[in-house]
Amino acid sequence: MGKLSQIKTVKLPVLIIALLSFILSGCAANNRNMSDVAKQLRHNLPVETAVTKLEAMKVESQSVAQYALNLGYLQLVNGDYQNALVNFEKAKQTMASLQAISISENLGSATVNETFRSYSGWPTDQVLVHGMMAMAYLLNNDLNGARVEILQADVRMNKLAESDKDKGQLAFVRYLAGVVYELNDEIDSALISYRMALSILESRTEAIPPSLQQSLIDLTAQIGLTQESKQYQKKFRLTVSKAYSNKQFIFAFDGVVTQMQQAKSTLWWDIDDVYLSVALPKFPRNNYVLSKSYIEAQGHEEVTYEIENIESRAREDLQARMPAITAMALARAATKYQTVKELNKKDNVLGAFANVLTIVSEVADLRHWGLLPSSIQVATTYATTGTLKLSNSYGQQTLGTPDNVSDKHEKAPAVAAIPASSQSEGDDIASVQQDSEQNSNEQLISRKLNTKSKAARKRAPSEAVLKERQSAEKTPKQDIAYLNYTSNKNAVILLSSLTNKVHIANF
């Protein structure tokens, strides 16, 4: 009888660990699936298919926010603004409700693994969700809705800056706030937001996009801050814009952010005959090559410039969390070691079984907003009525040598212009997918070529990568749309390397 009760006592913790390992395998599987979708998107998976794949996933309660962020983003670039807003709102509410420290989740992460925690969003996620929502509201022609989001983003950024002045500070969101205020004729608030965007970029010693430079010069002049305007003109070597009837704010989302990987170390602790295991998240080398979009208006070509490098922000967020993650991983390893050691003393077989479970259950938390673009770029055009020609070079896919890509592009037929009837005033989306089947095939071939060259590049020495980075600027352009722009209104235009759709909202 005594023997039986001893076995029961020994088995309970093992069973608990086994049960938790089983339950938590779901979280890891969720993330694996989302990460797979992200990797496929970087090659040639259509966004519509990616949305379907994500919608079909069964999501664990701990990963609801991460899932909603990823799905919402795909819906946004796919033009499904209403559903994007629903998912972003869900993610926002979930992240807000998870800001308090959870006793049970900390206990779980200290004993089993980090995926026991609910995904509460990284600082970049917490701010960017407002930015993406503002973008969705804008493209849905809801300026007031966008305004609410940028106000919320301001509160969130101020809150995050309390602990670290650079934490969660996004130049893109500040710039977008400026755009929203400018569209709403709140010029003074717009100028403040543009100044904040400038301050963030300067503190990071990053390049200032010309569209931001021009907005600072124009708005200071408009308000009557002549001295400040002159300082900006001297600093940026630009002048005040000529009078224009409308302004197009162009945003380009390029690429898909790099997925995190697990770094797991297992060692044999000879003294107590126990395997120790520690798993930590890490980002692999950043292979992102910036790819710009081009806008030709009235014979003048504008190029999009990066305002936010999400690759860098994600890495900074992880870096900031690593001390806590590492400390928790070591504490967990110590707890698991102690448990296995005690069980080993009582029963070698059970001890060995428990040891296997502790190794299997040790997985790194690789959850992050993994479908975000690698880079967010901006440009402005000051066209009056006329035609806007929009071009890009397939974002992250254009990693091949310029020669083999240009051959394909030269053969590609011209992109169909948007029929005038579909460009009536008030159209908020101009879906300008290339309509010829041949053209689509050309695109596919082009993407496959690029994918192959990317795979080859992975094996190549890093010097080759550097050469490709240098040649990225020379990558041939692919026309994606001609917009017969007849509206006398301001406009917000979104381009994404994931789709060939152009999203437009007139204000």
Partner 1 sequence: MRLLAVILSVVILSACGSTKVQRLDSSETVDLSGAWNDSDSRMTAETMVADVLNRPWINRHVSQKGKPPTVIVGSIKNLTHEHINTNTFVSDIERELINSGMVEFVASANQRGDIREERKDQDLNSTEATRNAAGQEIGADYMLTGQINTIIDANASTQVRYYQVDLTLISMADNRKVWVGQEKIKKLVENAKLRY
Residue 58-87 contact track with partner 1, rule CB under 8 A, x = bound: ---x--------------------------
**Would you count residue 5 as binding partner 1 (CB under 8 A)?**
no
- Residue 158 CB, nearest distance to partner 1 (Å)? 7
Look at the alpha carbons of 311, 316, 322, 325 in this order and tell me if their dihedral is positive or negative.
negative
CB 274 within 8 A of CB 337: yes
Identity of the residue, 158 or 384, whose beta carbon is nearer to partner 1 in the bound complex: 158
- CA 398 to chain CA mean position, Å: 19
What count of other Cβ atoms lies within 10 Å of the Cβ of residue 198?
Answer: 22
- Residue 225's φ and ψ, nearest 5 degrees, are -85, 70
Number of residues that bind partner 1 (CB under 8 A): 30
Interacting positions 92-111 with partner 1 (CB under 8 A)? 98-104, 107-108, 111
Strand duo 261-269 + 274-282: pairing = antiparallel
- Residue 267 CB, nearest distance to partner 1 (Å)? 24
Region for 272 from its dihedrals, namely left if φ exceeds 0, alpha if ψ lies in -120 to 50, beta otherwise: alpha
**Would you count residue 327 as binding partner 1 (CB under 8 A)?**
no
Identity of the residue, 20 or 322, whose beta carbon is nearer to partner 1 in the bound complex: 20
Identity of the residue, 10 or 57, whose beta carbon is nearer to partner 1 in the bound complex: 10
Identity of the residue, 155 or 263, whose beta carbon is nearer to partner 1 in the bound complex: 155
Three-state SS at 166: coil
CB 468 within 8 A of CB 394: no
Identity of the residue, 154 or 442, whose beta carbon is nearer to partner 1 in the bound complex: 154
- Residues 1, 3, 5, 162: which binds partner 1 (CB under 8 A)? 162
Structure tokens at 155: 């509160």
- Residues 63, 293, 339, 381: which binds partner 1 (CB under 8 A)? 339
CB 446 within 8 A of CB 453: no
CB 135 within 8 A of CB 251: yes
- Residue 93 CB, nearest distance to partner 1 (Å)? 9
Measuring CA to CA, which residue among 206, 228, 207 is closest to residue 217?
228
User: Cα separation of 228 and 232, whole Å?
Assistant: 6
- Residue 177 CB, nearest distance to partner 1 (Å)? 13
**Would you count residue 227 as binding partner 1 (CB under 8 A)?**
no
**Would you count residue 185 as binding partner 1 (CB under 8 A)?**
no
Interacting positions 20-49 with partner 1 (CB under 8 A)? 20, 23
- Residue ranges binding partner 1 (CB under 8 A): 9, 12-13, 16, 19-20, 23, 61, 98-104, 107-108, 111, 144-145, 147-148, 151-152, 155, 158-159, 162, 339, 342
